[in-house]
């Protein structure tokens, strides 16, 4: 019987006391989505609105996971920095989850791709789509 060789994403598991943790610590992190870091941040303000919990993914282009992918970007004449990675992930979201793309916020800089949304449902969709996309992209580039 053939086995499914596709790597599976981590399970979406939030602590039952997430709001309390974030209220006490300011944020909660889940590193299980490697190479992405999922962070839930409390008391974010956006355009004057208070957002009690913001759901954020971070990707560091300097991470070893991105080595071959960065080389492919350079070969196309692109600088593989946080802004470029933000654009790549946003382009995937525009295709794979267009409703989500419309709710996305971008706080990326040169060293880090940082994308965030305002609801848990959008946070789950964001991290899952980005994680699957990045792992699929890496698998394709690592076999070339």
For residue 120, the model assigns a pLDDT of 96
In a domain? residue 9 = no
pLDDT digits (tens, 9 = 90+) for 95-118: 999 999 889 999 999 999 999 999
Helices and strands per DSSP (H, E), number in the chain: 5, 5
Q: Can you say whether the dihedral through the CA atoms of 58, 62, 65, 69 is positive or negative?
A: positive
In a domain? residue 2 = no
In a domain? residue 26 = yes
Domain range for 106 is: 19-142
In a domain? residue 122 = yes
Domain count of the fold of the chain: 1
Model confidence, pTM: 0.90
In a domain? residue 11 = no
In a domain? residue 111 = yes
């Amino acid at each position: 019987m053939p086995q499914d060789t596709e790597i599976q994403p981590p399970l979406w598991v939030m602590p039952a006391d997430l709001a309390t943790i974030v209220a006490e610590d300011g944020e909660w992190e889940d590193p299980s989505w490697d190479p992405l870091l999922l962070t839930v941040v409390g008391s974010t303000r956006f355009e004057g609105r208070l957002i009690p919990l913001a759901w954020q993914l971070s990707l560091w282009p300097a991470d070893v996971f991105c080595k071959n992918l960065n080389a492919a970007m350079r070969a196309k004449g692109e600088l593989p920095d946080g802004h470029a990675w933000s654009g790549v992930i946003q382009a995937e979201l525009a295709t794979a989850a267009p409703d989500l793309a419309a709710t996305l916020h971008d706080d990326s800089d040169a060293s880090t791709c940082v994308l965030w949304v305002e609801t848990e449902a959008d946070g789950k969709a964001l991290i899952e789509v980005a994680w699957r996309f990045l792992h699929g992209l890496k698998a394709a580039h690592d076999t070339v």
